[in-house]
Amino acid sequence: MADCIFCKIVAGEIPSEIVFKDDRVTAFRDIHPVAPTHILIVPNKHIASINELQPEDEGLMGYLFTVERKLAEQEGIAQSGFRSIINTGPDSGQEVHHLHLHLIGGQRMRHPMG
């Protein structure tokens, strides 16, 4: 998608603090972190949201979580805990219409959610 900010980050057209990248996903630090660790993990393939997933994307979605686990270990938050969030649609607060997984941790999370 020509106007998608996350597609531009994946393509290297917009600078970002990339912490992981391979042929399937890119992970980078959120520019407005809500915790000491706040990393966005995005598929390199443009998928607008969970509502746009296709059966062939099942493996990719599992891979997002595998990468998240590795990044949590790398960040030193795997044992203390972290939050995984995927927002879908306007009521969830999804601002960028490119599916992305938030890895948030490094502090005690607050409740309630929502």
pLDDT in tens, 35-50: 999 999 999 999 999 9
pLDDT at 80: 96
Q: DSSP labels for the chain?
A: -TT-HHHHHHHTSS---EEEE-SSEEEEE-SS-SSSEEEEEEESS---SGGG--GGGHHHHHHHHHHHHHHHHHHT-TTT-EEEE---SGGGT--SSS--EEEEESSPPPS---
pLDDT at 114: 59
Is the CB of residue 14 less than 8 Å from the CB of residue 5? yes
- What's the chain's average pLDDT? 96
Mean pLDDT across the stretch 77-103? 96
Query: What is the residue extent of each domain of the chain?
Result: 5-105
Q: Is the dihedral of CA 10, 12, 14, 16 positive or negative?
A: positive
pLDDT at 2: 77
Domain at 5-105, CATH class:
alpha beta
pLDDT at 69: 98
Active site residues: 100
